[in-house]
A and B are shown apart, each in its own frame.
Chain A
């Protein structure tokens, strides 16, 4: 079935460190891929997305590239800030109106 496997957390980094959160997927069709972020006490906010192979999504210094050959959509940021501390969810959707499949979430804490 369709699913997302996400790197286990929690992850703790120092400010300005490089971040990678791994995400791989299994899908029966051609999914769109997403990263959502959940700040403490808040809901899910879309961070970035990619709708087809080789697309790169980017936002707020975060990037992820849709790699069909490795079925991956790893999240990266070159220099994290304390304000990036949150839980990050990788997700896929097969089509408009279809459910999202979420990964388990990766908790990131950035320390000054």
Chain B
């Protein structure tokens, strides 16, 4: 069964450093998303991406964040200068195909900012 994959599973970084979180969505999907979940809190939407551009973004997704689909398979989230409060689990999701309104989530990347 096709699935969304994410790497790395855990990333530890120093405050102020740049991080890139990587995702490989399901191959025939057209919509891609990033969400985050701060420990013990709800899953929050960051950004959606369609047709090589951002289609929707939340207030959380400020200038420190960017997304890119550098090739036909990867979808990345970059945080330019990490803050302590960026520590969270980051989930990638994709949708499309026959289950058009269902989002398939990856296992997540746990980001720890020290």
Contacts and interface: CB of A to CB of B under 8 A. Distances in A.
Nearest to A44: B105
Interface string A65-102: 00000000000000000000000010101011111111
B103 interface: yes
Contacts of A51: 101
A101 B56 CA distance: 13
B91 A43 contact: yes
Contacts of A93: 101, 103
B105 A49 contact: no
B66 interface: no
B101 A96 contact: yes
B102 A97 contact: no
Interface string B28-68: 00110101000001111100101000011010000000000
A42 B103 contact: no
Given A96-B31, A99-B56, A102-B42, A43 B50 contact: no
Nearest to B100: A96
Contacts, number: 60
Nearest to A94: B101
B111 to A, nearest CB: 14
Interface string B70-109: 0000000000000000000001010100001111111110
A45 B105 CA distance: 7
B43 A44 contact: yes
Interface in A27-53: 32, 34, 36, 42-46, 49, 51
Contact of B48 (A43, A44, A45, A99): A99
A93 B102 CA distance: 9
| B93, B101, B104 — most chain A CB neighbours (10 Å) | B101
Interface of B: 30-31, 33, 35, 41-45, 48, 50, 55-56, 58, 91, 93, 95, 100-108
9 contacts: A32-B101, A44-B93, A49-B101, A95-B101, A96-B95, A100-B35, A102-B35, A102-B44, A105-B43
